[in-house]
Amino acid sequence: MSRPSQEAIQLALAQARSMLGGGPAANATGRYLLYLERRNRELEPIVELLDHYLNFGEPETEHARLVKMLQRLHEEERHEQVDPAGEFGLE
């Protein structure tokens, strides 16, 4: 499957936002799509840095940045719990 265009992504995110408050299934779907988009946005810099780290001799500065990014991501995971409003977290 090919990556959607920026226009298609923005359209899908707008649709996901409009689903919020539209009943249990629509609300859950909208929240999950928005959660995945945010999570993907957080993971993309890690992938880019990891690619650079592995391809260019494993420099110490990239290693330190990777460790910090992963620590921040793990900290967010600890705070992401299912809340009474139905917010999705990592399981």
pLDDT at 88 over 60: no
Distance CA 6, CA 3 (A): 9
Determine the pLDDT at residue 83.
Answer: 56
pLDDT at 59 over 80: no
Domain positions in the chain are 6-79
Would you place residue 61 in the very low, low, confident or very high pLDDT band (cuts 50, 70, 90)?
A: confident
- Reported as a single tens digit per residue, the pLDDT across 17-41 is 999 988 999 999 999 999 999 999 9
Please give the model's pTM, rounded to 2 decimal places. 0.69
Would you place residue 90 in the very low, low, confident or very high pLDDT band (cuts 50, 70, 90)?
A: very low
